[in-house]
Amino acid sequence: MRVPLASASPLLAVILWAVALMVNPGPLAPWSVFLVGLGLLTMATISVTGMIVVGGRWALRTGMVTVAATLLIAVIRPVDPIWFVALAVSITSGVLLFLPIVTQRIRKLPSATGPPTRAVLVSLVLAATPVAVGLAAWDRPTAATVVIGLSAPVCALWYSRVLPGGLYAVRVIWPLLAVGLAAFQPVSAAVVSVITAFLVLALAWHREVEVAFHPPRETGRVFPIPPELAPREILDAAELNERGRPR
């Protein structure tokens, strides 16, 4: 039981920082708080689920990135009692992720049946986008910033759940949306949106991402087995004799 609890520590840290931002957001505007909180919760949930369920190395690394992002929140948020508690949990979580209590359940090699690396990365980049644009537009996020931040994890879910049009969403829809709405955002958020869009494009148009969404299929063939080679219990169940004819 200790291992899942230790693996879930990034989620606990994120929840505490989300509460801290709601109590006192510091320099962050309300919509920036919303985007940052949403992105961190999404990343932490993905990380914890991946570590506990499949023991994925990508999940452990996502957890480390999530904890590092909470430390960034600690830098920009004012110090108060909640700040000290959340910071202590973040530091503890960061230490736990390097200890055997967590790492012993993580795969040492990539899973032979798991999704390709780029297919995982494109979803993780989209899931982390709300945090990036929320912090970039920390004092004056626009409606375009909110649309970009909210649509990114939706597209990640769209693709990862293999829903109709999911591949088209990460290859065309979201990158075009991010680039097209860049002009209606603060400069810092616009830069983040454009960079993220091109990163998603570079990942999504790789063959691995398409294969993960549309696995190659082969048509099966049926080869008749001579009745003499069929197990006796199968012939008896089908009420056939040793020549394969009805009794």
Q: Is residue 229 over pLDDT 90?
A: no
Q: What are phi and psi of 104, to 5 degrees?
A: -70, -20
pLDDT at position 85 over 50: yes
pLDDT for residue 111 is more than 90: no
pLDDT confidence of residue 53: 87
pLDDT on residue 80: 93
- Give the Cα separation of 135 and 123 in Å (integer): 20
Average pLDDT over every residue of 211-217: 70
Query: What does the pLDDT look like over 16-68, one tens digit per residue?
Result: 999 999 999 999 999 999 999 999 999 999 999 999 888 888 999 999 999 99
Q: Name residues whose C-beta falls within 8 Å of residue 105's C-beta, 6 or more positions apart in sequence.
A: 3, 7, 51, 52, 55
Residues in the chain: 247
Whether the predicted pLDDT of 9 surpasses 70: yes
Tell me 224's DSSP state: P
Share of the chain above pLDDT 90, in %: 65
Classify 126 as helix, strand or coil: helix
Does pLDDT of 220 surpass 70? no
In contact, 7 and 102? CB cutoff 8 Å:
yes
Q: HSE of 159 in the Cβ direction (CA atoms, 13 Å)?
A: 31
DSSP string, 177-218: HHHHTGGGS-HHHHHHHHHHHHHHHHHHTSHHHHHHHS----
Q: Who contacts 199 (Cβ-Cβ below 8 Å, separation ≥6)?
A: 125
Backbone angle region of 106, left / alpha / beta, with phi > 0 → left and psi within -120 to 50 → alpha:
beta
- 195-221 mean pLDDT: 81
Q: What is the mean pLDDT of the chain?
A: 88
